[in-house]
Structure 1
Amino acid sequence: MKILFILVFSFISIFPQVNVQETQITDGVIHKKIINQNDTLVINILKVDIKKPDLTIRSVKANELLNTKETTSQMVSRYKLSGFNVIAAINGDFFEADGEIISNMISNGEIVKAVKFSDSPFNSFTNSQFASDNEDNLFIDQFVFSGNLILPNGNVEEIRRVNSEADSNSITVYNHFQGKITPVSPKEWFVVDFVLFPLQTNGDTLIFITTAKTTLRNYEIPAQGIILSANNKFAYYLDREIKIGDTLKIIYNFSPKVKNIKSLVGGWPVLVKDGMNMIRRNPAIEGITEKFSEQRHPRSGIGFSSDKRTLYFITVDGRQQMSRGMTLLEFSNLMITEGIHFGLNLDGGGSTTLIINDKVVNSPSDLTGERLVGNCLMIVRE
């Protein structure tokens, strides 16, 4: 019996209890599932040849509105009902209680939210974000928004934000992602809203015609146009300078400069850069806390290979008997092991969700099941 026990123990040591399954979902898309009973981990990885001409990535806002939430499954179902062939989806950015995402977002080339600095209380600069352009070139960087309004007299004024709470003495733009009406502003502010409809696009310059202006609060946002909202000193100034029928120019920029951004979604923090583990290099990168980084949690992430051809969606289950989750250092190492050269941490915890062919393939940690989230990223066959 003693010899048998030693033989069995040796057998387990030589053949660890790790089950790896790879399934081809469709041409250019592979699902890899790792069940590691030794380390108590369940990992799901989706590998996508994003350069396949019929595959693309799309960022999707919950209900197509800034301040709402949906489950990732609900977003997939909604897009499929609209005629999209959705292959897979993963939850996206961190978000506020009402569903507003923390960082910048662009969906199908249209700004959902744009701010110079993220709304994260932990990071004094801006959180890292994932971006793709019209040709599905992939980027991960700390994108910073800047906007300019060019008046009929040629003067240039700064646009501080798009679809985000305005600060005093500033200019903000609202589009349909904000909702039906402009948001509430302090009663003591003097506010002037200008209704603008698009005329044409000239490179990165958007040209609008002014069709109305008002000092009424909570003004209706046109479905095909925008509201240019100015408050306090800028409201007095623009009320004098802009007349109905005037042509205005607006330029939106993100630094570093990427032309024709189609999708932009935030995360926090960057995990892998040029194949290096950024958590190992700087444990407090982007202001992450020890509790967030060093405790094991469910994790979601996105990344891509050194040639920017292979895109990865990756989830690690946690807070469960079958899977303990990972620290950010472990998650970064996993990304590098799987071939990720640039990787970004997405919202994790109870938000962690990966869907393939309409099925949630991971195990969300909330007792109530899949969590309502602010946005997601989808792989779509066009």
Structure 2
Amino acid sequence: MTGRHRRARAGRAVLAFLTAFGALTGAAPAGAAPAGAVQKGGRIAPGVTYEEFDIKAAKGVTHAHVLRADLSNPRVRVDLLYPGAVASRAQVSAMANTQGAVAGVNGDFFNISETQHPGVEATGASVGPAIAAGRTLKAAVPDGQRFGPALPPGTSTEDVFGVDGDGRARLDRLALAGAVRTTGTELPLGGLNQYALPVGSVGAFTSEWGSASRVRATCGTDTDRAAPCSTDVHEVTVRDGKVVSAADTPGSGPIAAGTTVLVGREAGAQQLRKFSTGETVEVEHSLVAATDGAAYRLALGGYPVLTGGQPLPGLDSTTSTVRTAVGIAGNGRRVLLLALDGAAAYRSGLTIAEVAATMRDLGAEDAFSLDGGGSSTLVARRRGASEVSVRNHPSGGAERPVPNGIGVFSG
């Protein structure tokens, strides 16, 4: 065989490998990753694949890890990973293994610190709405109380990535609707299991909240997260529909099933002081979708960066860091989960504008930014393993406990 024939045969073998890899990952060989990317990966489970590749970005080369989940496969679904309480944190790998996920990434931004409020503990609760397995866990904090980078113009803490009752992934906005009713009185509900309540409102805390102190809910304002805690607060505990106790300081500890703790600040506190022990109280709440009133099986917060194949206007193109994002393709039937590598060689990361462009290159029609930096984590099972392992390198050197994530399930 001549050298020319050997080279031709080798070229055909490489082409065959790339074609097979493209079929395995559910994407065409061209466009499966940004141009010039170095790829490797494979199938995680039926309908779920993993790949990793380099991206040449503005601040240098970064390394991406991507999961693809085919929701048209009846064996595949995505749902919320969380530790069992809103005000709690756990590592993505631990949540995935506990819930039986084959893969997943970290989720929403969260109340990570309270340096501006001495003596007040951070709750660990997420910023945006959260729904798990069709069950509403929490609503969104006011925009000014958000942790994380500045929101792109026109976006809100109420923005969510979700999966609706038909099993389609979509971007939407979920607003809290609710009321507190007594005989002759009806108060609008301003919050549900949130680490920050709107000024002058009443918020409800249920057993989904967990054991964390509720003091943080009365700190800051709708426009200034660092503003002092309110000095006009009141708390009322309702059990089985009746007031059983009241206090002038928000408490802590587990909330029993069938019990709702109402926390009021300013005008809300003044209204709650009118409640009396034994009085009948009804509390109702729901999350209402902005688009068509859709019911969601899964929802979590972050912010959109790509809609209908077009980047949102005003996306930051200067600040590069390690990122996590979720994309939607195939009319909501395919989900892409991206987490960048936090190893020192790749830590320059991507700007948000570059995240939008990367997700579009990967085939996403819509994309949504999740928490990044030290939180960015992607986990997946290896061949033959019964538990997930971390595939990227978290930038802090170890997995950071987070309040929630997106889990991929197959089986």
Instruction: Check whether TM > 0.5.
Output: yes
Report what 1:298 is aligned to: 322
The whole-number CA distance in structure 2 between the counterparts of 1:326 and 1:181 is 34
Deviation (angstroms), 1:140 = 1.3
How has the CA–CA distance of structure 1 residues 348 and 369 changed in structure 2, closer, same or farther, with 3 Å as cutoff?
same
CA contact (8 A) 1:303 1:341 kept: yes
Report what 1:254 is aligned to: 288
Report what 1:228 is aligned to: 262
CA contact (8 A) 2:96 2:102 kept: no
The whole-number CA distance in structure 2 between the counterparts of 1:301 and 1:107 is 19
Report what 2:403 is aligned to: 374
Report what 1:92 is aligned to: 107
Secondary structure in structure 2 of the residue aligned to 1:224:
coil
Report what 1:175 is aligned to: 206
Deviations 1:132-168 (A, max 9, x none): 2344322213433332234454x54210011223455
TM-score, normalising length from structure 1?
Answer: 0.76
* 1:329 and 2:353 are equivalent in the alignment: yes
How has the CA–CA distance of structure 1 residues 210 and 110 changed in structure 2, closer, same or farther, with 3 Å as cutoff?
farther
Report what 1:201 is aligned to: none
Q: Please identify, of 327-336 and 105-114, the stretch whose mean Cα deviation from structure 2 is larger.
A: 105-114
Counterpart selection for 1:214 from 242, 246, 249: 246
Report what 1:27 is aligned to: 46
The whole-number CA distance in structure 2 between the counterparts of 1:140 and 1:167 is 24
The whole-number CA distance in structure 1 between the counterparts of 2:56 and 2:169 is 34
Report what 2:116 is aligned to: none
Secondary structure in structure 1 of the residue aligned to 2:208:
helix
Counterpart selection for 2:80 from 53, 59, 65: 59
Deviation (angstroms), 1:272 = 1.0
Amino acid aligned to 1:342:
D
Amino acid aligned to 2:70:
D
Deviation (angstroms), 1:332 = 1.3
- Residues 184-199 of structure 1 aligned to structure 2 (within 5 Å): 184=215, 189=232, 191-197=234-240
The structure richer in strand per residue is 1
Report what 1:120 is aligned to: 146
Report what 1:109 is aligned to: 134
Deviation (angstroms), 1:326 = 1.9
The whole-number CA distance in structure 2 between the counterparts of 1:139 and 1:94 is 19
Secondary structure in structure 2 of the residue aligned to 1:330:
helix
How has the CA–CA distance of structure 1 residues 53 and 220 changed in structure 2, closer, same or farther, with 3 Å as cutoff?
same
Deviation (angstroms), 1:71 = 2.0
Gaps of 5+ in 1: 1-15, 198-208, 285-289
CA contact (8 A) 1:174 1:221 kept: no
Counterpart selection for 1:340 from 341, 361, 364: 364
The whole-number CA distance in structure 2 between the counterparts of 1:362 and 1:234 is 45
How has the CA–CA distance of structure 1 residues 228 and 296 changed in structure 2, closer, same or farther, with 3 Å as cutoff?
closer
Aligned-pair identity in percent equals: 19
The whole-number CA distance in structure 2 between the counterparts of 1:33 and 1:220 is 43
Secondary structure in structure 2 of the residue aligned to 1:253:
strand
Q: Please identify, of 227-236 and 304-313, the stretch whose mean Cα deviation from structure 2 is larger.
A: 227-236
Deviation (angstroms), 1:352 = 1.3
How has the CA–CA distance of structure 1 residues 135 and 210 changed in structure 2, closer, same or farther, with 3 Å as cutoff?
farther
Report what 2:314 is aligned to: 283
Report what 2:5 is aligned to: none
The whole-number CA distance in structure 2 between the counterparts of 1:136 and 1:223 is 32
Secondary structure in structure 2 of the residue aligned to 1:178:
coil
Deviation (angstroms), 1:300 = 0.9
* 1:267 and 2:276 are equivalent in the alignment: no
CA contact (8 A) 1:94 1:266 kept: yes
How has the CA–CA distance of structure 1 residues 54 and 243 changed in structure 2, closer, same or farther, with 3 Å as cutoff?
farther
Secondary structure in structure 2 of the residue aligned to 1:321:
helix
Amino acid aligned to 1:131:
G
CA contact (8 A) 1:146 1:253 kept: yes
* 1:68 and 2:68 are equivalent in the alignment: no
Deviations 1:75-127 (A, max 9, x none): 223x2xxxx32111101111222322222222333343313633227349623
CA RMSD of aligned residues (A): 3.2
Deviation (angstroms), 1:318 = 4.8
Report what 1:8 is aligned to: none
The whole-number CA distance in structure 2 between the counterparts of 1:120 and 1:255 is 20
The whole-number CA distance in structure 2 between the counterparts of 1:66 and 1:134 is 23
Secondary structure in structure 2 of the residue aligned to 1:74:
helix
Deviation (angstroms), 1:302 = 0.3
CA contact (8 A) 2:238 2:281 kept: no
CA contact (8 A) 1:182 1:220 kept: yes
How has the CA–CA distance of structure 1 residues 54 and 228 changed in structure 2, closer, same or farther, with 3 Å as cutoff?
farther
The whole-number CA distance in structure 2 between the counterparts of 1:96 and 1:241 is 31
CA contact (8 A) 2:71 2:77 kept: yes
Deviations 1:328-347 (A, max 9, x none): 22221111111100101111
Amino acid aligned to 1:23:
G
